[in-house]
Amino acid sequence: MEAVAPIPHLQARRIGKAYAAPVLVDFDFDLAPGEVHALVGSNGAGKSTFAHILAGLVQPDSGTVLLDGRPHAPRTLADAQARGVVLVQQELNLLPTLSVAENLFLDCLPQRFGAVQFAALHAQARVAMQRVGLGWLDVTAPAGALGVGQRQMVEIARALTRQCSVLILDEPTAALTEPEIARLFENIRQLQTGGVGVIYVSHRMDDIRRIADRVTVVRDGRRVTTRAAGTATVDQLVGEMVGHALPPRAARGSVGALGAVALEVSDLVAGDRVRGASFSVQEGEILGLAGLIGSGRTETLRAIFGADPVTGGGVRLRDSGQTRPLQRFPSPAAAVAQGLGLVPEDRTHDGLLLPLSIRVNATLATVPAQAGRLGWLERSRELVAAEQACNRLAVRRDSVEQAVSALSGGNQQKVVIARWLARDCSVLLFDEPTRGIDVSAKETIYAILRALVAEGRALVVVSSDLAELMTLCDRIAVMSAGRIAAEFTPDAWSEEAITRAAFSGYLYDSTDAR
């Protein structure tokens, strides 16, 4: 049974939008004052397009939107914000060369006689970051120096500083760990008491059950149904999202006979985030890396891969049955040459060439294989390789010649993963592999990761979703303050134990308490 709509604060009727193909078709949506209304659907279903229409980033082809009974048709993001509609986008939009404080208050910098009052700016910024639980963050640091999770929290903090009546959150928790999610939900509940309506776009069903009042399912640009979130089951929602019920999830197999150690990380030191990390992963094993934002998970993977300079320790790789000596890769190219692959946390900055085609992006890791006798790239080979890679992950596209920037965030993530699956890597590092990916696509990726380890590959997976790690992994190592604080096997792990270990390094190391 569909949920009964309360008196609308925002009302959208028969919204239509098409590019090469229809994205939204006669789409209806209501939001009441003080309501959290979740919007769910597969990648490319039209959720982000609808959010962008409300925020003035995209103009609809048809339909009307009313805000408190008055027409709402913003032409720009600033126009929407002036009307009280604020969007936190899935793809982060901070200016990397400006400080955290400047990004927070760029459109309302405290000034006197035309000069920015930096003391006041920094004080306001510290209050804003304290609100989202990152009061220790240096607000004078450039935003480009932050990890994805921290940048996400800055985006959220910026939105919370605005006076708004409608807050749109597009995949806000995709890169956040449980403590940050809990703080975000506290802020959402405070906004609700003030009458702010929240549109919550997410693939994470646990989030929806915890925070949403109603949930609307979108499929192929159309509204399928609207339900009370408290009565909707995951199976019900997923079936409505994909148009059919998903097959039962295969149980994670017990750890069988593993191979030799494929990757050993020994006392790795890199910058101020990785402070002596040590762990190993065997052939045929998935090792999960858990931890809080800023614990050093992403930086550890980057250091292993040669993307960040290593100042202490190193890594050992097994190759052709022989274990190589301890080494530090001078560049990602050197790591790839020895059988390492990395799916990065930030796909838009580190994983994709956004203006270029899916074909180019999907075959970047296998360029030599697409070359002919004279060394020139052969387009026909590229096309075949790109189609195979995209078909394996069901990348939703018009053609492989489409610019990757035109894909939804989840489909962009699939292209990055497809690229590395096409290369014969013995060790693969995955940093938030399912960020922004819908439920059915997650199942596809889980199956592929399991198939890789069945072939004898070794995988290291960083994820902020503990349920995901416990579904996928044979072991989970927990990082805290740049070191491995604990390791768990399935018979010993729990969310409570992992969370306690994630905080442990900060309880005893005063230098990290900031």
Answer yes or no: is pLDDT of 434 > 60. yes
331 in a domain, yes or no?
A: yes
pLDDT surpassing 70 at residue 510: no
E strand segments, 220-310: 222-228, 261-270, 274-282, 286-291
Percent of the chain at pLDDT exceeding 70 = 92
pLDDT for residue 506: 63
Q: What's the length of the chain?
A: 514
- Is the dihedral angle over the CA atoms 161, 167, 171, 177 positive or is it negative? positive
Residue 251 has pLDDT above 70, yes or no: no
Give me the pLDDT at residue 254, please.
44
Give the contacts of 125 (CB within 8 A, at least 6 positions apart).
100, 101, 104, 105, 139
Which residue type does 46 have? G
pTM of the predicted protein model? 0.66
Give me the pLDDT at residue 43, please.
67
Residue 170 burial by CB count (10 A; 0-12/13-18/19+): exposed, middle or buried? buried
> For the packed helices 178-193 and 148-160, what is the interaxial angle rounded to 10 degrees?
10
Per-residue confidence band for 511, with pLDDT thresholds at 50, 70 and 90: very low
| 388 shares its domain with 449 | yes
Q: What is the pLDDT of residue 244?
A: 59
Domain presence at residue 253: no
Q: Mind giving me the DSSP string for 299-342? A: HHHHHHTTSS---EEEEEEEETTEEPPPB--SSHHHHHHTTEEE
Mean pLDDT of all residues in 231-258:
66
- Please state which of the ranges 59-63, 149-153, 223-227 shows the lowest mean pLDDT: 149-153
**Same domain as 306, residue 451:** yes
pLDDT of 113 higher than 80: yes
Mean pLDDT of 292-306: 90
How far the first Cα of the chain sits from its last, in Å, is 49
What number is the average pLDDT over the span 47-54? 93
Domain count within the chain: 2
CATH code, domain carrying 181: 3.40.50.300
Question: Using an 8 Å Cβ cutoff, are 125 and 139 in contact?
Answer: yes
Residue at which a domain ends, from 242, 277, 312: 242
Please give the average per-residue pLDDT across 252-266, as a whole number.
Answer: 77
- Crossing angle for the helix pair 148-160 and 118-131, nearest 10 degrees? 100
In a domain, 4, yes or no: no
Q: At what angle do helices 439-454 and 409-421 cross, to 10 degrees?
A: 10
Helices (H), 356-436: 358-362, 379-392, 409-421
- Does 131 share its domain with 273? no
pLDDT at 5 over 70: no
Distance CA 395, CA 422 (A): 14
Alpha-carbon separation of residue 445 from 195, 274, 450 (angstroms): 39, 28, 9
* Residue 114 resides in a domain: yes
Q: Convert the pLDDT of each residue in 401-424 to its tens digit.
A: 999 998 887 788 889 988 988 888
Largest CA distance in the chain: 72
Amino acid found at 163: Q
Residue 167 pLDDT grade (very low, low, confident, very high; cuts 50, 70, 90):
very high
Dist. CA 50–CA 57, nearest whole Å:
10
In this predicted structure, what is the pLDDT of residue 514? 32
Question: In whole numbers, what is the pLDDT of the chain averaged over residues?
Answer: 87
Average pLDDT on 130-154 reads 87
- Given 215, 242, 269, the domain boundary residue is 242
Average pLDDT over residues 301-329: 89
By three-state DSSP, how is residue 102 classified? helix
Q: Which pLDDT value is given to residue 203?
A: 75
Q: What is the pLDDT of residues 173-219, one digit of tens each?
A: 877 878 888 888 988 998 899 999 999 998 777 888 899 999 999 98
Q: How high is the pLDDT of residue 233?
A: 83
With contact defined as beta carbons under 8 Å apart, do 177 and 134 qualify? Answer: no
Side-chain half-sphere exposure of 247, counting CA atoms within 13 A = 6
Same structural domain, 276 and 146? no
Both 233 and 271 in one domain: the answer is: no
What values do phi and psi take at 178, rounded to 5?
A: -55, -45
C-alpha span between 397 and 103 (Å, rounded): 34
Does the residue 248 lie in any domain? no
Domain check: are 345 and 476 in the same one? yes
Question: Is the CB of residue 437 less than 8 Å from the CB of residue 414?
Answer: yes
pLDDT at 173: 83
**More confident: 312 or 497:** 312
Do 265 and 225 share a structural domain? no
pLDDT tens per residue across span 320-361: 667 778 899 999 999 999 999 999 988 888 889 999 999 999
In a domain, 5, yes or no: no
More confident residue, 65 or 40: 65
Across 304-320, b (16+ Cβ under 10 Å) vs e yields: bbbbbebeebbbbbbee
Banded model confidence at residue 509, pLDDT cuts 50, 70, 90: very low
Whether residues 153 and 268 share a domain: the answer is no
Please state the rounded mean pLDDT for residues 497-505: 83
Asked, for residue 256, whether it belongs to a domain, the answer is no
pLDDT at 142: 94
Is 246 or 158 the better-scoring residue by pLDDT?
158
Domain residues for the domain of 289 are 261-512
Residues 381, 483: Cα–Cα separation, whole Å: 44
Rounded to whole angstroms, the Cα distance separating 71 from 16 reads 16
Does some domain include residue 1? no
Clarify whether residues 204 and 305 are in a common domain.
no
Could you tell me if 221 and 281 lie in one domain?
no
What is the pLDDT averaged over residues 461-471? 89
**146 and 229 fall within a common domain:** yes
Specify whether 123 is located in the same domain as 266: no
Cα 437–chain centre separation = 8
Instruction: Give percent above pLDDT 90 in the chain.
Output: 51
